[in-house]
Amino acid sequence: MVETIKNKINIGSTLRNYGVMIGLVVIIIIVSIVEPAFFTGNNLLNILRQSSAIGLCALGMTYVMVAGGMDLSLGSTVSLAGVIAIMIMNSIGVTGNADVAAVIAVIAAVTAGGLVGLANGVILATINGRLGESFIITYSMQIVVGALALLVTGGQFIFGRFPEQLYSKLGTGLSPILIFAGLAIVMQLGLAKTNFGRQTYFLGANMNVAKMAGIKVKQLRVINHMICGMCAGLAGIIITSRVYSASPLQGTGYELDAIAAVVIGGTSLMGGSGGIHKTILGVLVVGILANALNVVGVNAYAQLIVRGAIIILAVGLDGLNRGAAIKGLVS
């Protein structure tokens, strides 16, 4: 009796833990059979390159979500950071040393992202907001930051006028993949192996317990939001570098793609669980699926339906798993 129950639980938890990976392998196998052009080195590199910007956003989003929050301002932060970077390149990069300008542009864009995160974090920590408040506050911030991007550009698309040196290399070739991979490793260690990460999990799992354990809850929230904003800043750089231009609407919808990747990976919306390693899988699923649908030739509008359905499925499974976990543990 006990044995069968144990076995059932093991199958359940295996699916919970490795379901995404299994799904990923299945997609790859099916698409490779249907369309041999899919499983080629070039196409795979292409997928990684295209996934890197969303991936960076998803890394930041993971921190905020594990901490029990949400950052809907991420998309417009990507836009603002990109716009700032390109404007700096178009001025300093043209008149002065383009490589020095690239460094300044990167610092400025990441700082801008960090400041948006700082604002989110400070507001949420001050009002002691929970998940619900973090939705509304960061959504409002999305509008504000989006408006800032429109203001500084006058609503115009900005073309790059700087020499194609260092800045252009950031988003092309292998560099976006390496930036994403490097940051993913660092952030994985940061969340899984440090005091800061452990405290973040407690914060997300139960803010009251975290507070009553003597954790600096407010500071922790601010830091997590700042990290998320800085990731968005980096994403803005990668995108603008690749397309050699900036649009104040560039990042529109990135926050939802990032959330999708995080949730598909298996990090719960409720906070306190999941992690970067899961998000990496989620990013790959989202990226590979989008590419596979293209390669197989699915209509662009129909693709949106598939994307939406996948997110609903991921969140639904998360909810069901949580319910199952609770039922199984009642004593």
Partner 1 sequence: MKGITKTFPGVRALDDVTFSVARGSIHGLVGENGAGKSTLMKILNGVLYADTGEIIVDGQPCRFKDTKEAQAKGIGFIFQEFNLINTLTAAENIYLNRLKIRAGRIAWKQVNQDAQALIDELGFNFSVTEKIIDLSAAQKQLVEIAKALSFDAKLIVMDEPTSSLTTNEIEKLFEIVKKLKSEGITIIYISHKLEEIYSICQTVTILRDGQIIDTQPVSSISKNKIIELMVGRSVDMEFPKRNTVPGEIVLDVQNLTRRGIVKGVTFNLRKGEVLGIAGLVGSGRTELAEAIFGAEKHDDGIIMVKGKKVAIHSTYDGKSNSIGLLTEDRKETGLVLDFNISKNITITNLPKVSKSGILINRLEKQYAQQFSDELGVRTPSINQLTINLSGGNQQKVVLAKWLFSDVDILILDEPTRGIDVGAKYEIYLLINQLAEQGKSIIMISSELPEVLGMSDRVIVLNEGKKKGELSRDELSAEAVMHMIIRSEGENGGNN
Q: How far apart are CA 317 and CA 70, in angstroms?
A: 19
Q: How far apart are CA 262 and CA 162, in angstroms?
A: 35
Shortest reach from residue 128's CB to partner 1, in Å = 12
Q: How far apart are CA 313 and CA 24, in angstroms?
A: 15
Shortest reach from residue 9's CB to partner 1, in Å = 5
Q: Which of 6, 161 has the CB closer to partner 1?
A: 6
Q: Which of 82, 272 has the CB closer to partner 1?
A: 272
Shortest reach from residue 201's CB to partner 1, in Å = 8
- What residue ranges bind partner 1 (CB under 8 A)? 1-2, 5-6, 9, 189, 193-199, 201-202, 205-206, 208-216, 272-273, 328-331
Q: Which of 182, 328 has the CB closer to partner 1?
A: 328
Question: Which candidate, 203, 257, 185, places its Cα nearest to that of 66?
Answer: 203
Q: Which of 167, 201 has the CB closer to partner 1?
A: 201
Shortest reach from residue 209's CB to partner 1, in Å = 5
Contact indicator for 16, 266 with CB cutoff of 8 Å: yes
Q: How far apart are CA 56 and CA 181, in angstroms?
A: 9
Q: Which of 1, 300 has the CB closer to partner 1?
A: 1
Residues whose CB falls within 8 Å of the CB of residue 83, separated by 6 or more in sequence, listed in order? 149, 152, 153, 158, 236, 240, 246, 247, 248, 250
Shortest reach from residue 232's CB to partner 1, in Å = 25
Question: Which candidate, 120, 150, 142, places its Cα nearest to that of 246?
Answer: 150
